[in-house]
Amino acid sequence: MRERELIVVGGGLAGCEAAWQAAQRGIRVYLYEMRPLVNTGAHVTDRLAELVCSNSLGANQIDRGTGLLLSELRTLVSLLIRCADESALPAGRALAVDREVFAEKVTQTILSHPKITVIREEIKKLPETTAVVASGPLTSESLSASIANFLGLSNLFFYDAISPIVEADTIDMNVAFRASRYDQEEGDYINCPMNREEYENFVEELVKAERIPLRSFEETIESGVSGGKGKFFEACLPIEVLARRGKDALAFGPLRPVGLKDPRSGKRPYAVVQLRQDNLAGTLYNLVGFQTNLTFTEQKRVFRMIPGLERAEFVRFGQMHRNTYIFSPQALKPTLQTIRRPDLFMAGQLIGVEGYAGNIASGWLAGVNAARYIRGKPLLQLPRETMLGSLIYYVTHASEKDFQPMKANFGLLPYTEEEWLRNKKQRHFYFAQRSLDVLEQWLKECDVFE
């Protein structure tokens, strides 16, 4: 490869952002996209940056995690956020786009860039020269095998079983209680107790709740048929599928109350939903064993039937779908370089970021740093006080036990006890303004756009 050239693998959100950012910095970019020669089973067009699921990039106001990240990306001159703003539809306080207009804008901008060449070809193994790999959650089997061989099989996950996450201060602790099984003292879990009537009503609504339609590559999760990994899938069945096996299936499974007593009554509940701390700050908790294919609307409705969660605010809803992603804390530096190869960068859902904005943001950082690496310039790490900085810090520092794909949220940001004692609305606006101020100062100190 000649000097100042970069390979980008994947023409999705992260890959397109990375390619454009590198090209803007004078790098000759070769962007590889396997569609339409090789289909993913999810995409329906050959356009770059096709939005497969929702057409919403999330909340657009800065007192929301995604909204703050969108604001930061505008400041950082993101191509894809510019295209999203130009393709926006009326959607209240969210940034929703016309999918076709958005994808067409991105595609034409990429194709017309004098420094970018788009190659419609499947990359079956990791490039041996400087590259950004942003092949997404539907990475082909051959490339997945190459990544697994490079990182070690234990650092690559092929299916996503994501539990819902709620904000800790929206859990009603007048109903819920802290305990770990068989512990006499206050434990590590928050427990939401159910009597028999509450449990049976919950199961009834859970079983009949609307689910997202599954594609062929996702159906194997429930059938347990894929490469001899049936036992793995059996162990992480969607909770609504498990509930269909019988009215007490959950009470003897993930909702079993064994070893727990409600301190208010001194008795064991009929069933219990446990929530596990999800971040170091203790501001986020996930619902243990609640991987699901329910629609987000139904998750909010049904899971708020759980005693103590009637007013819970969901930071992330549960999902269970085909998804290839790496264990980034053992694989990546905060610059998004791989630890084993400084000339190999990764971005997008492949590294464990969730949400359209998060994917674009990781592509921005990978593309900028790949260009800086080629040019011999110091690589960038964004301050943790920024949403992008905190998101990248999470995916490169989380523990193996707790690591799951994550989207932008205020629970990731660092804070002092005094800062957190503000009421929620004031707190979010305070953190948002702090993030934007820190980002502005950081831009003055770094030659980010050169």
192 & 260 share domain: yes
My answer on whether 351 and 301 are in the same domain is: no
Tokens of 276: 């596990």
Q: What is the pLDDT of residue 9?
A: 97
Same domain, 331 and 189: no
Q: Looking at residue 404, what is its pLDDT?
A: 75
For residue 249, the domain's CATH number is 2.40.30
Residue 175 · residue 307 · CB < 8 Å: yes
Q: Are 47 and 82 in contact (CB under 8 A)?
A: no
**Same-domain status, 80 and 178:** no
Domain finish residue from 295, 317, 339:
317
Could you tell me if 137 and 217 lie in one domain? no
Q: Is residue 310 part of a domain?
A: yes
Distance CA 51, CA 102 (A): 9
Tokens 């800062």 map to which residue?
419
The residue to which tokens 């990475």 are assigned: 139
Taking only the tens place, the pLDDT of each residue in 87-145 is: 888 666 778 888 788 999 999 999 999 999 999 999 999 999 999 999 987 788 889 88
What is the reported pLDDT for 53?
A: 59
> Are 92 and 234 part of one and the same domain?
no
Q: Are residues 108 and 252 in the same domain?
A: no
User: What phi and psi, each to the nearest 5 degrees, are found at residue 192?
Assistant: -105, 105
CB 350: neighbour CB atoms within 10 A? Answer: 30
Q: Are residues 54 and 119 in the same domain?
A: yes
Residue 110 included in any domain = yes
Question: Into how many domains does the chain fold?
Answer: 2
**Does the residue 114 lie in any domain?**
yes
Sheet holding 344-346, edge to edge: 116-119, 28-32, 5-9, 131-133, 344-346
Among candidate residues 299, 317, 335, the one where a domain is terminated = 317
pLDDT, position 129: 96
180-218: pLDDT as tens digits: 887 755 677 899 999 999 999 999 999 999 998 765 444
Q: How far is the C-alpha of 80 from the C-alpha of 65, rounded, in Å? A: 18
Residue 179 shares a structural domain with residue 65: no
In-domain check, residue 450:
no
Alpha-carbon span 147 to 166, nearest angstrom:
33
Long-range contacts: 43-48, Cβ < 8 Å, 24+?
45/103, 46/120, 47/100, 47/103, 47/104, 47/106, 47/107, 48/11, 48/12, 48/15, 48/16, 48/103, 48/106, 48/107, 48/110, 48/118
Last residue of a domain, one of 260, 289, 317: 317
Asked if the structure places residue 352 within a domain, the reply is yes
**Residue 277: predicted pLDDT:** 80
What is the block-wise mean pLDDT of the chain (450 residues), using blocks of 10 residues?
A: 82 97 97 76 70 76 94 98 90 78 94 97 94 88 89 63 85 93 74 96 96 59 37 59 91 91 91 83 84 92 97 86 79 96 96 92 98 97 97 91 82 82 80 96 93
Q: What's the residue count for the chain?
A: 450
Are 74 and 11 in contact by the 8 Å Cβ rule? The answer is no
Tell whether 237 is covered by a domain.
yes
Q: What's residue 16's pLDDT?
A: 98
How far apart are the two ends of the chain, measured CA to CA in Å? 23
Same-domain pairing of 108 and 203: no
Asked if 377 and 390 sit in the same domain, the reply is yes
d(C-alpha 159, C-alpha 379), whole Å: 32
Cis peptide before 36 (omega within 30 of 0): yes
Q: Is residue 263 part of a domain?
A: yes
Instruction: Write the CATH number for 386.
Output: 3.50.50.60
Asked if 250 and 171 sit in the same domain, the reply is yes
Structure tokens at 318: 């549960």
Residue 331: predicted pLDDT: 92
Cα(57)–Cα(401) distance, integer angstroms: 29
Q: Is residue 303 part of a domain?
A: yes
User: Where does residue 333 rank: exposed (0-12), middle (13-18), buried (19+ CB within 10 A)?
Assistant: middle
Q: Domain limits at 11?
A: 5-161+322-445
